[in-house]
Structure 1
Amino acid sequence: MKSLRHAVALLVPGLLAFGAAIAALLVFGTARRVVSVGKRVPDVVIRSVDTGAQTIELQRTLDTELPGRYGLFTTGTYGYVKLGAVLSADATTVRRKLLTQIEPGAKVDRDALFSGWYYSTPSELHLPSENVLIGSPAGPCPAWFFPGSSSTWVIQVHGRGTMRAECLRAVPVLHAAGLPNLVVSYRNDGEAPRSRAGAYALGAAEWRDVDAAISYALRHGSENVILMGWSMGGAIALQTAVNSANRDRILGLILESPVVDWRTVLRFQARETGLRAPLPALAMSALEVPLMARLSGADEAISFDRLDMVARAEELSAPILILHSDDDGFVPSDASHALQLARPDLVTMPHFTVARHTKIWNYDQNAWTAAIEEWLKEQGLSASA
């Protein structure tokens, strides 16, 4: 019995240490996923392509069953194809019209990524545009510039895991209002320079690249700007609005499916992927400590308090239009509604549902466009107002 007690006394600390090590690995692994810049991962299976009828049959998901126009990243002969209306559906598949002509004999692999981008290059808009470089603290960041008649420019900021092309859907309505568009990149997005760690800062550092874009606009004829942010680009735009030395030149913000508070988003996404409390909270706490943040792959510590724009709502001063579907499915609209409640004097938030994440334009282009047009006129920001 004495030898058994002795063995247990030796074993327990080892087990505790082993458990602590496993817990630490889980925390750091979760924190690393929060800031890591991953590649686009296929999320849908192509069942078949009918090149005669120009239709495509996809695995049915909450995204692929949506009405409207979308894009599909593929591999094989085509890297990206455009999708039109849903023609038929059953319990497991959806058949849609192809808007990109697929030739007989083309190779289209099964794995694909469903997307709301739709436009992939500026030339598809048939509007004048040029490539420019913006000197930011991260280095030269490529941007697209679409000229307009107004001295107020729109600076568009894409979301996490995407590139500038995500923003092209908004250019026509803004251009029609006379507003020049500067569609920017930022550090670690695959087009702009890479930081030392090559990780996202969730807006805590990227806003400096957008601030550089504001300075670029002011040097090239702009008197004021509107910031438009998509998803994480919304978080970046909000950080720019409260941190920039140019914030008095920001006349308004348009936020599409925005991240307003990262804690709300990360807790939601953790639940969706089956991560149990307190792991998400521990991962966020790790990212707030400099040494632990670096061990998690971040360049520097990230303050989630500073990224909570509901708590910081009183610091905002420019009018805000929020376009957010209540069925987002990736970035819940809770924090957007909370910001509207906190600042009803600034925030306009039309009701959208069904459309999922950053796909309101795709699902209901007319309502989405009308919401932007009306808000611009109400704020006196449209050249046609």
Structure 2
Amino acid sequence: MAKDEHPGVRRLGLLLAALGAFAATVLSVFGALAIVTRFARTIVVPPRTAPERQRIRSIDPAAGTVTLGADDDASMPGRYSLWFDGGDGHARVGPIVTSSARTVTRELIGVDFGDIDEATRGRISGWFYVGPWELGLDYEDVTVETDLGPAPAWRIPASEDDGRWAIMVHGWSVRRHEGLRAAPAFHAAGYTSLLISYRNDGEAPESADGRYGLGTTEWRDVEAAIRYAEEEGAREIVLMGWSMGGSIILQTVLRGATGERVAGIVLDSPAIDWRDILDFQGKLNHLPDAITRGVVGSLGNGWGRRITGLGEPIDFAALDVLAQASSLHIPMLVMHSDDDGFVPGTASRALAELRPDLVTFVEWTGARHAKLWNVDPERWDGTVTAWIAERSQTETRSLT
């Protein structure tokens, strides 16, 4: 100690240093809690407006093109929706015309509504059709009675109704419109399509907590849709789901709520292992593993309900499809891209390896999450119709 330093000053300095370290720790804890809270709520709170992060740089009416800021979504091959003006505007974009390190110029197929000339931001979406009237097929608005009340749905009847139905379950943060892409393939195969809504998706009735259950609650609405189809004469049902819709369908199956008429499952980019998905998202956003574990803990335990707003904790054990693979009994087609970017395809491949007797796995490359049809609709339609035909032939052989 220096000769002129008073012992009390030294003790004060040590105390202040300790308090500073304590304050830094407290701030660190609160900072981590804030990140956990935001991450957890992002997963289970249904977004009412989607962020428009895509730069719309220019429109060339003469050339029929739109130039976007270059990013992974803008650079995908295929056809997509381009939402703008907070969802009040909708256009459709086609193949890439030119690209550079900073921009991507795509064919502008058309503007359905809104003033795209004034738009500077937008959102690319795999939701391509804005309604069933665009498909050139008959359709009707119907309702499915769920335990929360009537949920709207679209029914697209088969040309010749022989009792085969496809129930289509959309994914996280979208609506039943997502399934319109699949309806022509199922119609061509002779199926009546039922495109359903489910709790908290912005169309169906809300649950008391207004939160997604990641499949642990929404399966009841699929069960109700199955009952509706059976009451309307369905003798054979295929369940088709995208992303979280796949998780919802698998929960319906594992909980024994499908009845005897569900004969097949088709999954596109399915959410099969939620722990794996959250871990992937954590790493994608450069979050420490401890934060991801905190998110899973807050979602899956009673103490986290103050953070998440969930009425009941999410049962991650029930969502673990791989651990329950031996309980599956319905043939399924699973399609997933190795470039998904949101839900890794590892669990889809693992499920196929665990149940090669049930699962036909078709891997894609170059398609981002739930956009397989957009990248190559001919391949998507062909894969689905071929699997349906093969499954029907297998069933016929087993009966003879």
Aligned mate of 2:131, from 121, 127, 132: 121
Aligned mate of 1:210, from 215, 218, 222: 222
- Deviation readout 1:154-198 (Å, 9 max, x if unpaired): 110001111111110000000000111000001111111122221
Aligned mate of 2:342, from 325, 330, 337: 330
Aligned mate of 1:223, from 235, 244, 247: 235
CA distance in 2, matches of 1:266, 1:381: 39
> Which position in structure 1 is the counterpart of 2:197?
185
- Deviation readout 1:115-159 (Å, 9 max, x if unpaired): 111111000001010011111122211100011223121110001
Q: Which amino acid aligns with 1:100?
A: G
1:377 aligned to 2:389? yes
| Structure 1 residue 26: Cα displacement | 3.1
Q: Which amino acid aligns with 1:24?
A: L
The answer to whether the 8 Å contact 2:170/2:179 transfers is yes
| Structure 1 residue 262: Cα displacement | 0.5
C-alpha distance 13-85 of structure 1, shift in aligned 2 (>3 A): closer
The answer to whether the 8 Å contact 2:77/2:96 transfers is yes
1:32 aligned to 2:41? yes
| Structure 1 residue 10: Cα displacement | 6.9
| Structure 1 residue 224: Cα displacement | 2.7
C-alpha distance 360-76 of structure 1, shift in aligned 2 (>3 A): closer
> Which position in structure 2 is the counterpart of 1:87?
97
- Structure 1: give runs of 5+ residues left out of the alignment: none
Aligned mate of 1:288, from 277, 281, 300: 300
> Which position in structure 1 is the counterpart of 2:84?
74
CA distance in 2, matches of 1:13, 1:77: 46
CA distance in 2, matches of 1:77, 1:208: 29
The answer to whether the 8 Å contact 1:195/1:299 transfers is no
- Deviation readout 1:201-252 (Å, 9 max, x if unpaired): 1111011111111111111111231111101111111111111433432211
C-alpha distance 25-219 of structure 1, shift in aligned 2 (>3 A): same
| Structure 1 residue 74: Cα displacement | 1.3
| Structure 1 residue 33: Cα displacement | 1.9
C-alpha distance 293-381 of structure 1, shift in aligned 2 (>3 A): farther
DSSP 3-state at the match of 1:237: helix
C-alpha distance 319-104 of structure 1, shift in aligned 2 (>3 A): closer
> Which position in structure 1 is the counterpart of 2:3?
none
C-alpha distance 248-22 of structure 1, shift in aligned 2 (>3 A): same
CA distance in 1, matches of 2:255, 2:278: 23
CA distance in 2, matches of 1:221, 1:28: 46
C-alpha distance 66-291 of structure 1, shift in aligned 2 (>3 A): same
1:234 aligned to 2:246? yes
TM-score, scaled relative to structure 2:
0.90
The answer to whether the 8 Å contact 1:51/1:102 transfers is no
C-alpha distance 87-300 of structure 1, shift in aligned 2 (>3 A): same
Does 42-51 or 334-343 show the bigger shift? 42-51
| Structure 1 residue 76: Cα displacement | 8.4
The answer to whether the 8 Å contact 2:84/2:116 transfers is no
The answer to whether the 8 Å contact 1:240/1:247 transfers is no
Identify, as 1 or 2, the structure richer in helix.
Answer: 2
> Which position in structure 2 is the counterpart of 1:52?
62
- Deviation readout 1:74-103 (Å, 9 max, x if unpaired): 128961111112111111111111111589
DSSP 3-state at the match of 2:239: strand
CA distance in 1, matches of 2:366, 2:116: 34
1:194 aligned to 2:203? no
CA distance in 1, matches of 2:133, 2:173: 22
DSSP 3-state at the match of 1:155: strand
The answer to whether the 8 Å contact 1:360/1:368 transfers is yes
C-alpha distance 74-29 of structure 1, shift in aligned 2 (>3 A): closer
* Aligned CA-pair RMSD: 2.5
The answer to whether the 8 Å contact 1:77/1:108 transfers is no
Q: Which amino acid aligns with 2:43?
A: V
> Which position in structure 2 is the counterpart of 1:170?
182
CA distance in 2, matches of 1:125, 1:274: 42
1:136 aligned to 2:146? yes
1:257 aligned to 2:269? yes
- Deviation readout 1:294-340 (Å, 9 max, x if unpaired): 43222211011211111111111000101111111111101100100
Larger of the two Rg values belongs to structure: 2
C-alpha distance 384-80 of structure 1, shift in aligned 2 (>3 A): farther
The answer to whether the 8 Å contact 1:178/1:383 transfers is no
| Structure 1 residue 72: Cα displacement | 0.4
> Which position in structure 1 is the counterpart of 2:163?
151
Aligned residues: 385
Identity among equivalent positions (%) equals: 40
The answer to whether the 8 Å contact 1:177/1:383 transfers is no
Following TM superposition, the consecutive aligned residue runs of length 4 or more in structure 1 with deviations greater than 4 angstroms are 5-19, 101-106, 381-385
The answer to whether the 8 Å contact 1:288/1:302 transfers is yes
